[in-house]
Chains A and B, each alone.
Chain A
Amino acid sequence: MSTAPDSLAQLLQSAAAMQESGRAVLKTMLGMGEIEVGTSEKRCVYSEDKIRLYRYAPLARSAGLKPLLICYAMVNRPYLLDLQPDRSFIRELLHAGLDVYLLDWGYPDGADRFLGFDEYVDGYLRRCVEFVLKEHVIDSLTLLGVCQGGTMSLCYAALHPMQIAQLITMVTPVDFKTPENLLSKWAQHIDVGLLTQSGNVSGDFLNLIYLSLMPFRLTQQKYVNLLQMQGDRVQLENFMRMEKWIFDSPDQPATAFREFIQWFFQENRLIRDELTLAGKPLRLKNITAPVLNIFASKDHLVPPSASIPLGAHIGSKDYQALEIDAGHIGLYVGGKTRKTVPAAVMAWLKKRS
């Protein structure tokens, strides 16, 4: 960089401006108060242990489609899908007339450490599906799985194909051993039996791993960029909502986590047709319902190469892959995608109603 006097003057000017921005950011943050998330109206219709099944209040006339059950990941909180009124994947679906249910896994504790992965899929998830079917007096529903919840939804659809009318997977890993998958590379040598021997795996530990995927951007640049917001309250509140979500990570039940890492990440059993759940062999070919597979081209957690192979492994003849120009999270809250993705889901569902 040039150190000529005019450049130096420019630098000092920039530094002074940054200092002023920092002061404005701090001032706004100090007066911000409590951050609200997940504000769409909903009520708990079924609960069991730590899990809750919510049904959202309608916001529009029914589109006449089957109810949609969202199965979110266990590693994060599901309110990402309803972060704030103008950034809500769920609200968009409600506005389009869909009847939306959400399965919230809650915050597992020591009492859940011996629950196996099959008990989450063929236990809690199954009972939630059965509740919705009974409530609507129908034989099948639409299941939408997000990230790890997508993998769980695939497992469920393969075990109970008759209960699934349509399946939507979003940023869902299917092939866990592709070269771009950094999380998977790191997971290969971890003794997950030893890791879970002393109980549940803390959310903080998982967050540390996620931050380590892009440490400079996620632990430094992100916060430095706050200065560009110039103390804009709306922008800062959006930032804080996301910040809350990122670090609001439940501990993972030891047994289910060990099985998930071993069976999926280390042994890639799902696409190798080697997975047995609840004593039953699980075959993706059993999935015959229409499938919409949405993945994000800039996803650093579940790279597209981990999601794309799904079409080749299921038995469905009606399969559509949809690539979105976004990251793992931006898919739901990004400027354009927060409208276009729910619209694409609705169009796909209506075509198959």
Chain B
Amino acid sequence: MSAPGASIGAHPFSAGFLKAWVDQAGAFQELLARLADQSSAGLHPSMPPPHLAPWKDFVDGLGMGSFNPSEMFPGAPALGLSREYQETARRLVELSRQFQQRYTEFAQQNATVMQDAFHVMKKRVDARLPPKSPAELYDAWIDCAEDAYHQAAHSDSFARLLADLCNISSAMKVERGKLTEQLARHLDLPSRAEVDSLHRQVRALTAALRRPAPAVRTPRKRAKK
């Protein structure tokens, strides 16, 4: 993608936000590559997660780089003109940290599954005749891997881990949605909230149209005294 912020670069918030979005896509790829290389300390707790860097740049772009109360006094409330953005950015950072932690556990659990699968595979090969072809060997490996995965996938810990990853991702999407709303307002574009409110109105109108019309009452003429 070529300089997405260029056309709206006049506004530092818009440009910074878009840049953060684009950079984050690349950063996630880097994160996955590092997760795959945990043995070489790819994920050191003291290192900032790569997908946080774009948001840090975004926060710095708001002039919070030199004065960030949350960094100076962890847990302190956000202050100043960019208070609301600080709050959102802080939540995003925290959610990213949680996601990284849970994803590391997930990757470790998967590594255990693979190890279990290899053990079962070795036992099977030792106990029976060796596979006659690469295809037979491959199918035996898939059977072992699925069996080991099946055991893990049915455990409560696996379900909780998967749910945590899903829930954290959902929360991040909600926070990013808030920033997108701000961006839309800055650019005078229709926001999701506006569209939602229109959809609700259309839905209410459609429901009203479907309801059977009430019987029309003709007012009785008063009898003349």
Does B170 contact A221, Cβ atoms closer than 8 Å? Answer: no
Contact residues in A for B138 (Cβ distance below 8 Å)? 221, 224
| Chain A residues close to B by CB (< 8 Å) | 1-2, 10-11, 14-15, 18, 110-111, 113-115, 182, 185-186, 188-191, 194-195, 197-199, 212-217, 220-221, 224, 227-228
Contact residues in B for A185 (Cβ distance below 8 Å)? 154, 156, 159
Whose C-beta in chain A lies nearest to the C-beta of B139?
Answer: A221
Q: Which secondary structure dominates where chain B touches chain A?
A: helix
CB distance from A130 to the nearest CB of B (A): 13
Whose C-beta in chain B lies nearest to the C-beta of A116?
Answer: B203
Whose C-beta in chain A lies nearest to the C-beta of B204?
Answer: A114
Interface residues on B, range: 35 or more
Does B163 contact A186, Cβ atoms closer than 8 Å? Answer: yes
Q: Which secondary structure dominates where chain A touches chain B?
A: helix
Contact residues in B for A188 (Cβ distance below 8 Å)? 159, 163
Judged by a CB distance under 8 angstroms, whether B184 is at the interface is no
Does B130 contact A198, Cβ atoms closer than 8 Å? Answer: no
Judged by a CB distance under 8 angstroms, whether B167 is at the interface is yes
Does B174 contact A198, Cβ atoms closer than 8 Å? Answer: yes
Contact residues in A for B130 (Cβ distance below 8 Å)? 1-2
Contact pick for B167, options A14, A18, A194, A216, CB 8 Å: A194
**Given A114-B203, A188-B159, A189-B164: 10 more A-B contacts, CB < 8 Å:** A1-B137, A2-B130, A18-B135, A185-B159, A189-B160, A189-B163, A190-B167, A195-B166, A213-B153, A217-B146
Does A197 contact B159, Cβ atoms closer than 8 Å? Answer: no
Does B134 contact A11, Cβ atoms closer than 8 Å? Answer: yes
Q: How far is the CA of A188 from the CA of B157 in the complex (A)?
A: 12
Q: How far is the CA of A216 from the CA of B138 in the complex (A)?
A: 11
CB distance from A312 to the nearest CB of B (A): 25
Q: How far is the CA of A190 from the CA of B170 in the complex (A)?
A: 10
Contact pick for B203, options A10, A115, A217, A228, CB 8 Å: A115
Judged by a CB distance under 8 angstroms, whether B149 is at the interface is yes
